[in-house]
């Protein structure tokens, strides 16, 4: 379990993390999302005792990281795959970590096999590709067989097979009851991997909810309906009462005989069609992607927005 309570970090006049309170529970893959500059890396560094909070606290298993007697056996982390001696072999890099943390040497061979590097364990780590370096960093995080694991962009540099392997690894670790906290900018991968999402922007908590709940909250969720009497059905739907306070029903005519309805569940769209005698040729849900939901959540929290190419052209 990772516990954050009013965690705050200021650098001069800049507040990188502001009053962040959340629990990262065991048995789940928790995705940690946010735009560049949102405070994700700073938060992870504070959890690991690499940065000192200005206010609040971060606990791992109920204790600050600095108070852990055998840190590598309790928390495994990959924040920077390049943080190693480039002249050491992969095996010697892991052996140095094991010996300094009282971990049996046989564990080195186990994690090398887990990440698929046993065949290149004697090569200098400095000669590794980006993807191989990521695998070595993951091996280091797994070395102490910890209950808590933290990964910052773990699929960076991996090929599709490697990305799928990381996805399966994360889910298997969570299935064993471990706490798995993963930061990533790859929304499609987080949608496939994470059980729960923590989204921050400008250092503040924006969302802390299951993946399905985050996606369900998107205004891009809609119902597609095709009918030869689409205009009649559209008139009915446009006057339909919203299902709840603050909700709004919108009907878009996307093609001849086809409507896209937001703000109403599929069942009510079907009932409206029945009420006006409009035959239905198609009635289906159009679900938002995590990327679409994420962009809605963080739209006002982007620190380094760029203009769209061509948007500022002048005649």
- Based on the domain organization, do 59 and 203 belong to the same domain? yes
138 has a pLDDT exceeding 90: yes
- Based on the domain organization, do 110 and 233 belong to the same domain? no
CATH of residue 126's domain is 3.40.50.300
Q: How far apart are CA 137 and CA 79, in angstroms?
A: 8
Contact 154, 134 (CB under 8 A): yes
The mean per-residue pLDDT over the stretch 283-308 comes to: 81
Contact 36, 23 (CB under 8 A): no
At how many degrees (to 10) do helices 160-175 and 130-142 cross?
10
List the one residue out of 181, 174, 195, 206 whose CA is nearest residue 21. 206
- Based on the domain organization, do 187 and 151 belong to the same domain? yes
pTM: 0.85
Residue 61: which domain range? Answer: 2-215
- Based on the domain organization, do 200 and 91 belong to the same domain? yes
183-196 pLDDT, tens digit per residue, is 999 999 999 999 99
Task: State the pairing for strand pair 179-183/55-60.
Answer: unpaired
Neighbours of 140 (CB within 10 A): 24
Average per-residue pLDDT for the chain = 91
| pLDDT score at 246 | 66
Q: How far apart are CA 278 and CA 230, in angstroms?
A: 7
Q: Is residue 180 part of a domain?
A: yes
Q: Is residue 243 part of a domain?
A: yes
- Based on the domain organization, do 195 and 260 belong to the same domain? no
Structure-token pair, residue 76: 């495994």
| pLDDT score at 313 | 45
Contact 114, 180 (CB under 8 A): no
In percent, the amount of the chain with pLDDT more than 70 equals 94
| pLDDT score at 191 | 94
Q: Is residue 291 part of a domain?
A: no
Q: How far apart are CA 3 and CA 179, in angstroms?
A: 11
CA atoms within 13 A on the CB side of 194: 31
185, 215, 245: which is the final residue of a domain? 215
List the one residue out of 80, 110, 116, 79 whose CA is nearest residue 94. 110
Q: Is residue 293 part of a domain?
A: no
**Helix, strand or coil for residue 266?**
helix
121 has a pLDDT exceeding 80: yes
188, 215, 242: which is the final residue of a domain? 215
74 has a pLDDT exceeding 60: yes
Could you please report the per-residue DSSP string of 207-248?
A: EEEEHHHHHHT-TT-EEEEE-TTHHHHHHHHHTSPPSSTT--
Q: Is residue 235 part of a domain?
A: yes
- Based on the domain organization, do 165 and 233 belong to the same domain? no
Which position has the higher pLDDT, 237 or 314?
Answer: 237
- Based on the domain organization, do 201 and 86 belong to the same domain? yes
| pLDDT score at 309 | 56
Q: How far apart are CA 11 and CA 147, in angstroms?
A: 32
Q: Is residue 310 part of a domain?
A: no
- Based on the domain organization, do 197 and 267 belong to the same domain? no
CATH of residue 282's domain is 3.30.70.100
For residue 315, name the pLDDT band (cuts at 50, 70, 90).
very low
**Helix, strand or coil for residue 176?**
coil
Task: State the pairing for strand pair 282-286/196-201.
Answer: unpaired
Q: Is residue 315 part of a domain?
A: no
| pLDDT score at 241 | 82
Domain tally, the chain: 2
Task: State the pairing for strand pair 258-262/204-210.
Answer: unpaired
52-69 pLDDT, tens digit per residue, is 999 999 999 999 999 998
82-98 pLDDT, tens digit per residue, is 888 889 999 999 999 99
Look up tokens 């992607």; give the residue.
289
| pLDDT score at 111 | 96
- Based on the domain organization, do 174 and 239 belong to the same domain? no
* Least confident stretch, 79-83, 144-148, 214-218: 79-83
Q: Is residue 61 part of a domain?
A: yes
| pLDDT score at 310 | 54
- Based on the domain organization, do 52 and 84 belong to the same domain? yes
The mean per-residue pLDDT over the stretch 195-209 comes to: 95
**Helix, strand or coil for residue 310?**
coil
19 has a pLDDT exceeding 80: yes
- Based on the domain organization, do 114 and 256 belong to the same domain? no
| pLDDT score at 303 | 59
- Based on the domain organization, do 189 and 252 belong to the same domain? no
Tell me 119's DSSP state. Answer: G
- Secondary element (H or E) of residue 207: strand 204-210
């Amino acid at each position: 379990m990772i516990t954050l309570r009013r965690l705050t970090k200021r650098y001069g006049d800049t507040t990188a993390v502001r009053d962040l309170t959340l629990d990262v529970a065991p048995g789940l893959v928790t995705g940690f999302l946010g735009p560049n500059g949102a405070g994700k890396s700073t938060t992870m560094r504070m959890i690991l005792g690499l940065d000192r909070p200005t206010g609040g606290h971060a606990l791992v298993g109920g204790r600050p990281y600095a108070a852990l007697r055998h840190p590598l056996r309790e928390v495994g982390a990959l924040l920077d795959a390049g943080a190693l001696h480039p002249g050491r072999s992969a095996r010697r890099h892991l052996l140095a970590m094991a010996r300094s943390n009282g971990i049996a040497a046989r564990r080195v061979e186990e994690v090398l096999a887990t990440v698929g590097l046993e065949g290149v364990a004697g090569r200098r780590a400095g000669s590794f590709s980006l993807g191989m370096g990521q695998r070595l960093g993951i091996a280091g995080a797994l070395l102490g067989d910890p209950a808590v694991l933290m990964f910052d962009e773990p699929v960076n540099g991996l090929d599709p097979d490697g990305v799928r392997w990381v996805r399966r690894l994360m889910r298997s670790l969570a299935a064993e009851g471990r706490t798995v906290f993963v930061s990533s900018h790859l929304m499609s991968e987080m949608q496939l991997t994470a059980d729960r999402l923590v989204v921050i922007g400008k250092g503040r908590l924006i969302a802390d909810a299951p993946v399905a709940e985050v996606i369900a909250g998107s205004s891009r969720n809609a119902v597609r309906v095709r009918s030869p009497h689409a205009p009649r059905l559209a008139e009915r739907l446009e006057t339909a009462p919203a299902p709840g306070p603050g909700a709004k029903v919108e009907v878009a005519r996307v093609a001849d005989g086809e409507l896209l309805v937001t703000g109403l569940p599929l069942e009510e769209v079907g009932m409206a069609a029945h009420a006006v005698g409009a035959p239905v040729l198609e009635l289906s849900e159009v679900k938002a992607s995590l990327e679409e939901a994420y962009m809605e959540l963080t739209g006002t929290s982007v620190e380094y927005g760029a203009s769209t190419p061509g948007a500022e052209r002048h005649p």
